[in-house]
Amino acid sequence: MQATNILILILGLGVLAFFLGRGRSLALAKPLGGIRQLHSLPSYYGMHAALWCALPSLFLLCVWMLFDDSLINRLVLDSVAAEIAPNDTASYNLLINKISNLADGILPRKGESAALVAAADHLVSLRIISSWSLTAVLLTLSSLGLLWGWSRISASFRARPVVEKVMQNILLGCACLAIFTTLGIVLSVLFESIQFFRSVPIFDFVFGLEWSPQTAIREDQVGSSGSFGAVPLFVGTLLVSAVAMVVAVPVGLMSAIYLAEYASKTVRTYAKPALEILAGIPTVVYGFFAALTVAPFLRDLGASFGLSVSSESALAAGGVMGVMIIPFISSLADDVITAVPQSMRDGSLAMGATKSETVRRVIIPAALPGIVGGVMLAISRAIGETMIVVMAAGMAAKLTANPLESVTTVTVQIVTLLTGDQEFDSPKTLAAFALGLMLFTVTLLLNIFALHIVKKYREQYD
């Protein structure tokens, strides 16, 4: 039986338990003189029974689903004949795939060795056993839970606090998911990175000047050992981000100032949402725009001035990325500028300062921490932006500070290394996780710092 069916069955049992529990409490209340005599409302007794019925089963289902596959695979492999038994991870995965494809009938059985066919049959039977035993166990568990929850119902039983406690713990669990996600990110990039740093020293990775991750298939090929010096990637990322910031910061900041301090109400109501459209456009669209419109345009423009602009220039990718970040900066800046109290403006204007003097000498200095925080968040965004650079920046790692040339970035390399069919444990794919670790660390530090500054700033004027 499929997991979804089992899930529906458990939930159905839960609903049944709810009505049974509610019914029992109502029946108990009747001779006592109505539901006023019960400690809690009847629906709480129903909820109590339902929780007992569904929760343990759901928990068991999750655990089972998580370990089911690997356990079955292990059992199958233990039983296969010695001549095809795997001796390393790669052949292990290959064998598992083959057996499971045989079992599913994707691969024809004809022509395969008897040992493999036997293993496939074994797999099929194990799967059937697993699924039936799971159903049986879960149904028993649910029924027992139902019975327990149902039997505990009495007029004096305090169902509401119990149910509320459970509910609150479920809510807490949902809130903690954020922590688990962070933990998951840290663990996943950290483990693979550590594995990577076993084959490539961390010092070579962080300070190496050459990036060519192509590891050769044969030992004797030229450049057989790929070099993993990530400095060109860092420089490329910084270059693209710098171009983006050069576009986004002045435009975003000035439009925020204009909208907050100068624009009439009508202009504000139309111009602000119109600018926010830029924030809602998917990055893949920007990437397409950068690669097919902006980059050729810049190349031709450069050619007419006698400049050679690469058709995958950092300028095109960074410029379009800057456009994408404009609304991000302008809305953050707008927030912090409007948070500056009106009394500051009044004080300055009453001295005879012009509006621009007020903005430049009073409002911007007062809002500076908030603005800096916003810009840092924007930088973190630019560093982590993927699609635009994947589509519009280059692949070749070049160590240059010239925005007219083609550079590659950390995110581009992560994507290139991980798409395509590679073995998971090769240094190439592991390198992507090491890059991910760098990316995560840098953006995390930027974010924490920036959010801290912005928070402090908000508190100042609250």
Partner 1 sequence: MTQLASADKKKRANTAKPTAMKSLEVEGHEATVGKVFTDNPKMTMRNVNVYYDDKQAIHDVSIDIAKNEVIAMIGPSGCGKSTFLRSLNRMNDTVDICRVEGDILMDGENLYAPKLDVVELRARVGMVFQKPNPFPKSIYENVAYGPKIHGLADTRVDLDEIVENSLRKASLWEEVKERLHQGGTGLSGGQQQRLCIARAIAVSPEVILMDEPCSALDPIATAKIEELIEELSENFTIAIVTHSMQQAARVSHRTAYFHLGKLIEVNPTEQVFTMPEHPLTEAYITGRFG
Partner 2 sequence: MTESINHLEKIKNSLSRRNRAEKRFRWYGRTAIFIGLAAVLVLFTDIVNKGHGAFRITYIELEVTYDQDRIGVNNLTDPKELTRGNWEALSKTALRTEFPNVSGRSDKRRLNNLLSSGAGFDLKDRLVANPHLLGRKESIWILADDDIDTYFKSWLAGDAYAARLSSKQVQWIEGLHQQDKIRLQFNSNLFTRGDSREPEQAGIRGAVMGSLLTLILTLLLSFPIGVSAAIYLEEFAPRNRWTDFIEVNINNLAAVPSIIFGLLGLAIFINFFHVPRSVPIVGGLVLTLMTLPTIIITSRAAIKSVPPSIREAALGMGASKYQTVLHHVLPLSLPGMLTGAIIGMAQALGESAPLLMIGMVAFIVDIPGGFSDPATVLPVQIFLWADSPERAFIEKTSAAIMILLSFLIVMNTVAVWLRKRLERRW
Q: Which of the residues 304 through 343 are near partner 1 (CB under 8 A)?
A: 341, 343
Least distance to partner 1 from the beta carbon of 374, Å?
18
Does the protein bind partner 1 through residue 357 (CB under 8 A)? yes
Q: What's the token pair of residue 232? A: 């060109």
Rounded CA gap, 175 and 170, in Å?
A: 9
Does the protein bind partner 2 through residue 422 (CB under 8 A)? no
Beta bridge partners of 313: 406
Kindly tell me which of 231 and 263 has the beta carbon lying closer to partner 1: 263
Phi-psi region of 352 (alpha: psi -120 to 50; beta: other; left: phi over 0): left
Tokens 């900066």 identify what position? 329
Binding residues for partner 1, how many (CB under 8 A)? 20
Least distance to partner 1 from the beta carbon of 269, Å?
13
Kindly tell me which of 201 and 250 has the beta carbon lying closer to partner 2: 250
Does the protein bind partner 1 through residue 349 (CB under 8 A)? yes
Does the protein bind partner 2 through residue 431 (CB under 8 A)? no
Does the protein bind partner 1 through residue 351 (CB under 8 A)? yes
Kindly tell me which of 306 and 352 has the beta carbon lying closer to partner 1: 352
Does the protein bind partner 1 through residue 26 (CB under 8 A)? no
Count Cα neighbours of 141 within 13 Å in the Cβ-side half-sphere.
18
Phi-psi region of 293 (alpha: psi -120 to 50; beta: other; left: phi over 0): alpha
**Contact with partner 1 (CB under 8 A): which of 126, 146, 251, 366?**
366
Count Cα neighbours of 270 within 13 Å in the Cβ-side half-sphere.
3
Does the protein bind partner 2 through residue 51 (CB under 8 A)? no
Single-letter residue type at 122: H
- Beta strands, E only, 91-234: 211-212, 227-228
Q: Of the listed pieces 186-194, 197-205, 337-345, 400-408, which binds partner 2 according to CB under 8 A?
A: 186-194
Q: What's the token pair of residue 238? A: 């910084």
Annotate each residue in 326-365 with x if it binds partner 2 (CB under 8 A) or - if it does not, as one string: xx--x---------------------x-xxxx-xx-----
* Three-state secondary structure call for residue 87: coil
Rounded CA gap, 28 and 35, in Å?
A: 9
CB 157, CB 45: distance < 8 Å: yes
CB 339, CB 258: distance < 8 Å: no
Rounded CA gap, 331 and 450, in Å?
A: 15
Q: Of the listed pieces 29-37, 130-138, 176-184, 215-223, which binds partner 2 according to CB under 8 A?
A: 176-184
Least distance to partner 2 from the beta carbon of 219, Å?
27
Residue 271 near which of partner 1, partner 2, none (CB within 5-8 Å, type-dependent): partner 2
Residue 15 near which of partner 1, partner 2, none (CB within 5-8 Å, type-dependent): none
Rounded CA gap, 119 and 100, in Å?
A: 9
Kindly tell me which of 304 and 343 has the beta carbon lying closer to partner 1: 343
Does the protein bind partner 2 through residue 377 (CB under 8 A)? yes
Q: Of the listed pieces 50-58, 216-224, 272-280, 348-356, which binds partner 1 according to CB under 8 A?
A: 348-356
CB 379, CB 244: distance < 8 Å: no
Q: How many Å is the maximal CA-CA distance in the chain?
A: 98
Least distance to partner 2 from the beta carbon of 274, Å?
6
**Contact with partner 2 (CB under 8 A): which of 19, 30, 32, 69?**
69
Count Cα neighbours of 209 within 13 Å in the Cβ-side half-sphere.
2
Q: Of the listed pieces 17-25, 52-60, 197-205, 431-439, which binds partner 2 according to CB under 8 A?
A: 431-439
* Three-state secondary structure call for residue 130: helix
Residue 337 near which of partner 1, partner 2, none (CB within 5-8 Å, type-dependent): none
Tokens 């009044």 identify what position? 346
**Contact with partner 1 (CB under 8 A): which of 24, 345, 381, 428?**
345
DSSP string, 366-424: HHHHHHHHHHHHHHHHHHH--HHHHHHS-SS------TTSB---HHHHHHHHHSS---T
Rounded CA gap, 279 and 252, in Å?
A: 12
Least distance to partner 1 from the beta carbon of 261, Å?
10
**Contact with partner 2 (CB under 8 A): which of 13, 440, 453, 457?**
440
Read off φ and ψ for residue 313, nearest 5 degrees.
-70, 150
Does the protein bind partner 1 through residue 365 (CB under 8 A)? yes
CB 25, CB 46: distance < 8 Å: yes
Residue 94 near which of partner 1, partner 2, none (CB within 5-8 Å, type-dependent): none
Binding residues for partner 2, how many (CB under 8 A)? 90
Does the protein bind partner 1 through residue 269 (CB under 8 A)? no
Q: Contacts with partner 2 in 288-327 (CB under 8 A)?
A: 288-289, 291-293, 323, 326-327
Residue 291 near which of partner 1, partner 2, none (CB within 5-8 Å, type-dependent): partner 2
List of residues contacting partner 1 (CB under 8 A):
264-265, 341, 343-354, 357, 361-362, 365-366
